[in-house]
Amino acid sequence: MKSVIRWLVDVTRMQFRPGLRLFLTFIPIAVVICVGSYFYYQHELRHTHDQHAKTEYATVMAGVISLDRSLQYATRDLLDLYDRTDFHQMLDNPTSRNIDQVAVDWITFSRIKQVYHKIRWIDETGNERLRVNYQTPEPQRVLPKKLQDRKDRYFFADTFKLNKGEVYVSPLDLNIEHDAIEVPYVPTIRLGVPVFDQWGKKRGILMINLFASDMLQRFEQSTSLLSHQIWLLNQDGYWLKGPASEDEFAFMFQQGERSMLSRYPDAWEMISHEDSGQFLTREGLWSFQTLRPLEAWHKSSTGSTKIFSPSDAQVDIRAYQWKIVSLLPIAKYNTGMPYSIAKHIGITFFVLLISFVLASLLVRVQQARNNLLSNLEEMVQVRTEDLQKVNTDLRESEARIRSLFENIPDLIWLKDQHGTYLKCNTAFENYLGLKESEIDGRTDFELPHQEFADLFRETDDLVLADGILRIREVWYTYPATGKRALFEVIKVLVKTQEDETIGVLGIARDITERKEAQERLELSALVFKNSSESIQITDADNRIVAVNPAYERVTGFTQEEVVGKDPKIVNSGRHDKAFFRAMWESIKTIGGWQGEIWNRRKDGELYAAWVTINAVYNDDGSVRNYIELSKDFTKEKEAEDLIWRQANFDFLTGLPNRSMFMDRLRQEIIKAHRTDNKLALLIIGLDNFKGVNDAYGHEMGDTLLVEAASRISKTIRDIDVVSREAGDEFGVILTEVDDLNDVGLIARELQQILATPFPLGDEMAYITASIGVSIYPDDGKDNESLFRNADQAVHVAKKSGRNRISYFKQSMEEVARSRMALTNDLRNAMEEGQFEVMYQPIIELSTGMIHKAESLIRWHHPVRGIVSPGEFIPLAEETGMIFSISEWAFSEVIKQVALWRERFYPDFQISFNMSPVEFHDEEDNHNTLFDILHKNTVPGKSVVVEITEGLLLISNESVIDKLSRFHHEGIEVALDDFGTGYSALSYLKKFDIDYLKIDQSFIHELETEPRDMALTEAIIVMGHKLGMKVIAEGVQTETQVALLKQAGCDYGQGYIFSEPVPAREFEVLLRKRNAPNT
């Protein structure tokens, strides 16, 4: 630059023609301006691109944080479910009751969280044992028959092989139901852990399906405001959250073309081989970051992307990874380029124009100077004399300045108008690391700090131009030491007494430490002011000296109201003196304390705060201040209390639930053992509660339960405990029992108050109560055995006719064990082919021919032999196995009736007994029966469904609808055991019944009891009048046959004709009976 300026000056002095001189002067200036403009444009462009890159990187990291938090929350919830006591009790003893208890807990958990599609326990064989599906308005437990075999799914194999404490996280894919992708699509991440019983045996896996759509929505929300395109991909380059919904999860449909690998192969090649980075292609600016869901939390997964087959890969937490990718289109990346180019061209042209004008003026001035050269000698002589005088003055001034320089620690220097150093002090010498003799006579461009020379010269020129003192703060580097420091620089114009300019005097002071201290103070003030946590500062006497805005927002007190006062102004009164003594003891001993404190706002409202108090000390060890940071976490406390209450109390009645009740029972047993007292446990089961629900609706049933809970609570003492166990069962703990007769009195009083009618709107409901009683320590010494024995007792009370009080006996436990063993055997009976369908002929009394038969199921137990249906059918109804047994038996009946209609009689019919449970079940299994009928191409009229009178009493729409569907399919309906139940004639009118079957109790004494004969004749006449056929059951003698024929009975069934026989023997009967007509 210096050589260019000198060249320009020399050119103006040369004797060229004016036009050529102007040209030679302007060209170098124009070149410098254009080059400078170009480099400035490049700098501005790089700055713009850097800002875009930072924004895109921030967007990607926001997406990483969002996904990371979602997976952390899901992992925490999974481990919380695994750690629950009820779940481990179920693993140790997977009874129906324990499974039911866990199901209730899972339903509550699913309803609160609302983000888990499924929660399930899959046992070690790969079969689902319990599953809760989330749906609105209420999560539902899946029926046992709907549970699926999952041993061939990859997530079962991958999770089951983990060690205790390891967590499995599946790939993000779409949910699979019954080996097909669920529609509408449900993006899902499965998290699972292997589960172990108390003996360390692996009992399968616990798995939750996270609604990934919720996680992806939060991912999209956290990134949508910052980026134009933000994607989530798996390790194979398939979109999990992509540019369009149809591109997402393409790997589930084998659509390789819908992947980043296919559409952007070059970009994916770079992204797939690096963990993070940014690069530019013709599409735009790519930014990406790799997220490995398992690496941060020590989880395990194979990262398998297989859908229908288990993974056999080795566990590799790095194989399972996601790519968060953003693409800033190239047009957006270069936003503003045309405008910037136009702006720089315009500025450059303007500067060139100004430069041209100045060059013209310079040439004209020089031309005028040349015209004055003739008078130069005279002017030089005069000027020489003046300079001598000036030099004398300068020497005198220099002596004074030198004395001043040497006594000031700041950097001081003096430069002339051209920037040449004239003087400097010792401090300046030390700054440059040079002697004064090496500095004087040189400019900043020639000294070690030459990188600042342009800046120095610019400030000097300003001072020289207007004579105004300049003070600036500038960062410089000590050339001698390399230390970077902040200087406060003062520059002032120096003149002679004749007002002639000497140059610029500079004074610089290193203010780095002062500035850093000031910035620390400002930062502390900024943090204090903007902190989201409440901050309170007190002095050594514990008087408030300052509070921040967060304190004012939380407490409602302003700073003016609390300064100078004791912090106990917000004391809630909920903590005693011992609490505060312990707090101050901690502060004095270790200098700090933290914990939970309840405070009071200005308006009187209490709030929970997590408080940290630290002491600040002076150099001598004395206390200077106390600083208190507190965070209002009232909402978190309320949420915790709500979760605790939901986990321990019944939401309907407000009573303790099973979990809380068992804990209280454990505590009361410990207390009774310590005081050598007895206690009684009562299990109260409401009789016929299901009938109330079916007759009046679940809402009225809930009303009855609430009223029953109130009556029970008012009957017992304050020291006793009452809970709602499940459904229509309540538990009561009678503590401090001195006389066992009192237990009986209280039990009978409970029966009486529960037998009092319950008003349900305009109706009155009547129920009774069965009560089972066990006594501590006579019937059990721990809560589990005591509860189990009371439960067995109430079961016996119900079996004994209900409305009974049953005290536990040791024989009950043996019966219960036998019942449990029979239930377990019943589960295997279907698979092992232990069931057989027997057939008993129904004779047409007028002809003696067999046109019908009743199918009856028999269980051939490998040890016990034939098990009566009256013994195993109730078990099947209770466990839900009645549905699968009924479907199997119906299939056998349909196959048999199809064969016999073809071989023997085209209109042959077989009666099939159906349980009331099959009509009350919310999920209608009748479609399955109809499918079996259609599959075998058998007309519906070939089957007669037998129902009991009790079913007709529950005349709700569901029962009516299901019976109507049987008639729609052509299936006829028979009313079994008629005369033994309520036999209300209104039901015969209301329902479409085809057959009445007279109960055998009327037939047995038909010959000897005139009243039985009269009733039988009345039933036959009534049936015929209503358009029904009549069948007499239990016919055993020829006299009974004759009397029935005489009364006009249509059909007979009983041992006189045949006992129930297998299908082969029944065919022999058919050939024998029907032979004369063939």
Q: Provide the residue ranges of all domains of the chain, joining segments of one domain with +.
A: 61-83+152-333, 395-515, 545-639, 649-808, 829-1077
CA distance 830 to 859: 10
- Tally Cβ neighbours within 10 Å of residue 30: 15
Q: How confident is the model at residue 986 (pLDDT cuts 50, 70, 90)?
A: low
Q: What is the average pLDDT across 466-495? A: 86
Is the pLDDT confidence value at 123 over 90?
yes
Q: What is the average pLDDT across 654-680? A: 91
CA distance 503 to 621: 55
CA distance 926 to 932: 10
Q: What is the average pLDDT across 226-238? A: 80
388: which 2 tokens? 């001598």
CA distance 915 to 911: 13
User: Which amino acid would we find at residue 963?
Assistant: L
What pLDDT shows up at residue 318?
54
- Tally Cβ neighbours within 10 Å of residue 1053: 24
Q: For residue 456, give every residue at least 6 positions away whose Cβ sits within 8 Å of its Cβ, in sequence order, or none.
A: 419, 444
What CATH class has 545-639?
alpha beta
Lowest-pLDDT range of 460-469, 493-502, 952-961 = 952-961
What pLDDT shows up at residue 980?
66
What pLDDT shows up at residue 22?
67
What pLDDT shows up at residue 313?
38
CA distance 973 to 862: 35
Is the pLDDT confidence value at 208 over 90?
yes
Q: How confident is the model at residue 909 (pLDDT cuts 50, 70, 90)?
A: very high
pLDDT tens digits for range 522-558? 676 677 777 778 888 999 898 998 888 988 888 889 9
CA distance 837 to 839: 7
What pLDDT shows up at residue 958?
72
Lowest-pLDDT range of 311-325, 356-370, 423-437, 824-838 = 311-325
What pLDDT shows up at residue 307?
34
Q: Which helix (H) or strand (E) holds 410?
A: none
CATH of domain 829-1077: 3.20.20.450
Q: What is the average pLDDT across 981-1002? A: 76
Is the pLDDT confidence value at 658 over 60?
yes
What pLDDT shows up at residue 775?
92
Q: What is the average pLDDT across 253-280? A: 87
The answer to whether 679 and 734 are in contact (CB under 8 A) is yes
Is the pLDDT confidence value at 301 over 50?
no
Lowest-pLDDT range of 612-616, 649-653, 922-926 = 922-926
Is the pLDDT confidence value at 377 over 60?
no
Q: Which helix (H) or strand (E) holds 119?
A: strand 116-122
More confident residue, 917 or 835: 835
More confident residue, 1065 or 185: 1065
Q: What is the average pLDDT across 245-256? A: 83
Lowest-pLDDT range of 24-33, 423-432, 1038-1047 = 24-33
What pLDDT shows up at residue 426?
85
Per residue in 304-324, is it b (16+ CB within 10 Å) or e — as a string?
bbebeebbeeebebeebbbbb
Q: How confident is the model at residue 186 (pLDDT cuts 50, 70, 90)?
A: confident
User: Which amino acid would we find at residue 104?
Assistant: V
pLDDT tens digits for range 325-372? 988 888 787 776 666 676 767 777 777 777 667 767 776 766 666 656
What pLDDT shows up at residue 746?
92
More confident residue, 178 or 384: 178
Is the pLDDT confidence value at 278 over 80?
yes
The CA-atom distances, in angstroms, between 392 and each of 380, 405, 989 are: 18, 20, 140
pLDDT tens digits for range 847-890? 999 989 999 999 998 888 888 888 888 888 877 888 889 999 99
| CATH code 3.30.70.1350 for 61-83+152-333 | no
Most confident of 15-19, 701-705, 762-766: 701-705
DSSP 3-state of 938: coil
Most confident of 57-66, 320-329, 632-641, 806-815: 320-329
CA distance 797 to 1015: 34
CA distance 62 to 52: 15
- According to DSSP, residue 500 is labeled -
Which spans in 84-95 are helix H? 85-92
564: which 2 tokens? 């100078």
What pLDDT shows up at residue 107?
92
What mean pLDDT is reported for the chain?
83
The answer to whether 96 and 130 are in contact (CB under 8 A) is no
Most confident of 16-25, 371-380, 858-867, 1038-1047: 1038-1047
What pLDDT shows up at residue 299?
42
Same fold, 61-83+152-333 and 545-639: yes
Q: How confident is the model at residue 458 (pLDDT cuts 50, 70, 90)?
A: confident
Q: How confident is the model at residue 1055 (pLDDT cuts 50, 70, 90)?
A: very high
732: which 2 tokens? 């009561």
CA distance 491 to 499: 18
What CATH class has 395-515?
alpha beta
The CA-atom distances, in angstroms, between 888 and each of 192, 829, 857, 883, 1064 are: 35, 12, 10, 9, 19
259: which 2 tokens? 């992947």
What pLDDT shows up at residue 72?
86
Q: What angle do CA 715, 721, 727 make, to 5 degrees?
A: 85
User: Which amino acid would we find at residue 552?
Assistant: E
Handedness of CA 723, 725, 729, 735 (dihedral sign): negative
245: which 2 tokens? 């919904």
What pLDDT shows up at residue 124?
94
- 675 burial (CB, 10 Å; 0-12 / 13-18 / 19+) is exposed
* pTM beyond cutoff 0.75: no
- According to DSSP, residue 653 is labeled T
Residue 630, strand partner residues:
534, 611
What pLDDT shows up at residue 314?
38
pLDDT tens digits for range 995-1030? 999 988 889 888 888 888 998 999 999 999 989 999
CA distance 995 to 988: 11
What pLDDT shows up at residue 28?
78
- According to DSSP, residue 1062 is labeled -
- According to DSSP, residue 1041 is labeled H
Q: What is the average pLDDT across 198-219? A: 88
More confident residue, 290 or 451: 290
DSSP 3-state of 1037: coil
Q: Give the β-pairing of 140-141 and 322-329.
A: unpaired
Is the pLDDT confidence value at 722 over 90?
yes
Q: What percent of the chain has pLDDT over 90?
A: 27
The DSSP-derived string for 377-399 is HHHHHHHHHHHHHHHHHHHHHHH
What pLDDT shows up at residue 147?
92
What is the residue whose two structure tokens read 């009891």?
A: 1009
Q: How confident is the model at residue 769 (pLDDT cuts 50, 70, 90)?
A: very high
- 265 burial (CB, 10 Å; 0-12 / 13-18 / 19+) is exposed
Most confident of 24-28, 746-750, 815-819, 1073-1077: 746-750
Q: How confident is the model at residue 225 (pLDDT cuts 50, 70, 90)?
A: low
- The separation between CA 1015 and the C-alpha centre of its own chain, rounded to angstroms, equals 66
CA distance 1013 to 1039: 12
- 618 burial (CB, 10 Å; 0-12 / 13-18 / 19+) is exposed
Q: What is the average pLDDT across 134-141? A: 87
CA distance 540 to 676: 56
- Tally Cβ neighbours within 10 Å of residue 999: 20
Q: Which helix (H) or strand (E) holds 551?
A: helix 549-555
Q: How confident is the model at residue 1051 (pLDDT cuts 50, 70, 90)?
A: very high
Q: Give the β-pairing of 322-329 and 230-234.
A: antiparallel
DSSP 3-state of 343: helix
Is the pLDDT confidence value at 17 over 80?
no
What pLDDT shows up at residue 298?
42
Residue 1029, strand partner residues:
995
What pLDDT shows up at residue 334?
76
Q: What is the average pLDDT across 93-109? A: 91
Q: How confident is the model at residue 770 (pLDDT cuts 50, 70, 90)?
A: very high
Structurally, what CATH architecture does the domain formed by 649-808 represent?
2-Layer Sandwich (3.30)
Strands annotated E in 455-520 = 470-477, 484-495, 501-510
Q: What is the average pLDDT across 690-718? A: 89
Q: What is the average pLDDT across 85-95? A: 91
Residue 328, strand partner residues:
285
